[in-house]
Structure 1
Amino acid sequence: MRLKPLAAAMPALALAACVSFGAKVPPTLMSLTPAERLAPGTAMTGTDAQAIAVNLPTAPQSLVGLRVPVQASPTAVAYLKDAQWVEPPARLFRHLLAEVVEARTGRVVPDYRQPALAPATRLDGRLQAFGLDAASSSAVVTFDAVLARTGQDQVRTRRFEARVPVTAIDAANAPAALNQAANQVATEVADWIGR
Structure 2
Amino acid sequence: MTTEVRFPAARRAYRFLPVLAAAALLAGCGGGATPTTFDLSAPGGLSRAAGSRAVMVVAEPTAVQALDSDRVIVRDSSGALSFIGGAQWADRVPALVQARLIQTFENAGRVGSVSGPGQRISPDLQLNTDIRSFSIDAATGTAVVEITARMVGDRSGRIERARLFSARVPAGAVDGPGATRALDQALSQVLVEIVRWAR
TM-score, scaled relative to structure 2: 0.75
| TM-fit CA distance, 1:154 | 4.7
| TM-fit CA distance, 1:56 | 0.2
Q: Which residue of structure 1 lines up, in the alignment, with residue 93 of structure 2?
A: 89
Q: 2:186 aligns with which of 175, 181, 192?
A: 181
Please give the root-mean-square deviation of Cα atoms over the aligned residues, in Å.
2.5
* Aligned partners of 1:140 and 1:161 also within 8 Å: yes
Find the aligned partners of 1:170 and 1:147 in 2 and give their Cα distance.
36
1:144 aligns with 2:148: yes
Q: Which residue of structure 1 lines up, in the alignment, with residue 103 of structure 2?
A: 99
Q: Which residue of structure 2 lines up, in the alignment, with residue 171 of structure 1?
A: 176
Return 5+ residue gaps in structure 1 as ranges.
Answer: 1-17, 39-46
Q: Deviations for 1:41-89, whole angstroms, at most 9, x for unmatched residues?
A: xxxxxx9x71111110100111122111101124211111210111100
* Aligned partners of 1:28 and 1:82 also within 8 Å: yes
1:160 aligns with 2:165: yes
Query: Which letter does structure 2 place at the counterpart of 1:112?
Result: P
Q: Which residue of structure 1 lines up, in the alignment, with residue 198 of structure 2?
A: 193
Find the aligned partners of 1:33 and 1:144 in 2 and give their Cα distance.
19
| TM-fit CA distance, 1:36 | 1.4
| TM-fit CA distance, 1:111 | 2.7
Q: SS state of the match for residue 174, structure 2?
A: coil
Find the aligned partners of 1:170 and 1:153 in 2 and give their Cα distance.
42
1:69-88 paired onto structure 2 within 5 Å: 69-88=73-92
Find the aligned partners of 2:58 and 2:196 in 1 and give their Cα distance.
14
TM-score, scaled relative to structure 1: 0.77
* Aligned partners of 1:37 and 1:99 also within 8 Å: no
Find the aligned partners of 2:29 and 2:35 in 1 and give their Cα distance.
18
* Aligned partners of 1:83 and 1:171 also within 8 Å: yes
Return 5+ residue gaps in structure 2 as ranges.
Answer: 1-25, 47-51
* Aligned partners of 2:56 and 2:111 also within 8 Å: no
Q: SS state of the match for residue 75, structure 1?
A: coil
Q: Which residue of structure 1 lines up, in the alignment, with residue 36 of structure 2?
A: 28
Find the aligned partners of 1:37 and 1:61 in 2 and give their Cα distance.
33
* Aligned partners of 2:150 and 2:159 also within 8 Å: no
Structure 1 residues 23 and 186, CA gap change in structure 2 (3 angstroms): farther
Find the aligned partners of 1:82 and 1:55 in 2 and give their Cα distance.
30
Find the aligned partners of 2:123 and 2:145 in 1 and give their Cα distance.
26
* Aligned partners of 2:171 and 2:181 also within 8 Å: no
